[in-house]
Amino acid sequence: MVEFDEAFVLSESLLAEPLPDRWRHVQAVASEASRLGGLDGVDAEDLRVAAILHDIGYAPAIAHERFHPLDGARFLAREGCSDRVVALVARHSCAVVEAQLRQVVGVEYYVDEVSPTRDALWYCDATTGPQGQRLTADERWAEIRHRYGAGNVVTAFLDQAEPELRAAVDRTLSRMSTAGIPI
């Protein structure tokens, strides 16, 4: 079990120096996650921990497979994170679809819990830009398509995953509306 403060230090230690933009992004994702802890069905602590750790697999020191959801999940399991947080990281933002496109094996063995906590993590990631700026999901996806271009595997992933990503975003927006949390 890893608590948020410990997770923050772990993420900072691996990302801040080699990947400062990525570190800004994950801090902003965690900050947005902190606003959503009161949503119906959301586990506030697991959401914050998963948010600050979700992209740790980009860290060069642990990027063994060069597929960040899987590298992150395997590292976090070794670090003592709960099975739930490990699986949230492994499956975040429809990673299983990109894994299939890249022919990376392993992500599919983790459970995608399809819960309000999982949806909220996907929402926070989809509404946070590469340097931590706040965006709508549509702005974020347009930015990704522009950055990678047609024909790139990331763009192909987005084309395939967008309906499921959008469903998670829309469910979270609906829960935010019910809870009176502004966008």
Q: What mask, x for binding Fe ion by CB under 5 A, covers residues 117 to 136?
A: --------x-----------
CB closer to Fe ion out of 152 and 178: 152
Q: What DSSP string runs through 11-28?
A: HHHHHTTT-HHHHHHHHH
Shortest Cβ 167–Fe ion spacing (Å): 18
Q: What number of residues does the chain have?
A: 183
Among 32, 43, 46, 55, which residue interacts with Fe ion (rule: CB under 5 A)?
55
Q: Cα separation of 59 and 33, whole Å? A: 21
CB closer to Fe ion out of 55 and 71: 55
The stretch among 6-14, 48-56, 106-114, 138-146 that binds Fe ion (CB under 5 A) is 48-56
CB closer to Fe ion out of 131 and 177: 131
Q: Is 32 in the site for Fe ion (CB under 5 A)?
A: no
Q: Give strand pairing partners of 134.
A: 128
CB closer to Fe ion out of 55 and 98: 55
State both tokens at 42: 């959301």
Tokens 């502004």 belong to residue = 182
* Amino acid at position 3, single letter: E
- Do the beta carbons of residue 72 and residue 89 sit within 8 Å? yes
The stretch among 54-62, 68-76, 132-140, 170-178 that binds Fe ion (CB under 5 A) is 54-62
The stretch among 2-10, 50-58, 100-108, 139-147 that binds Fe ion (CB under 5 A) is 50-58
Q: Cα separation of 89 and 49, whole Å? A: 10
Burial of 15 (0-12, 13-18, 19+ CB in 10 A): buried
Shortest Cβ 21–Fe ion spacing (Å): 11
CB closer to Fe ion out of 37 and 130: 130
Chain-centroid distance of CA 166 in Å reads: 14
Shortest Cβ 25–Fe ion spacing (Å): 6
- Give residues in contact with Fe ion (CB under 5 A): 55, 125
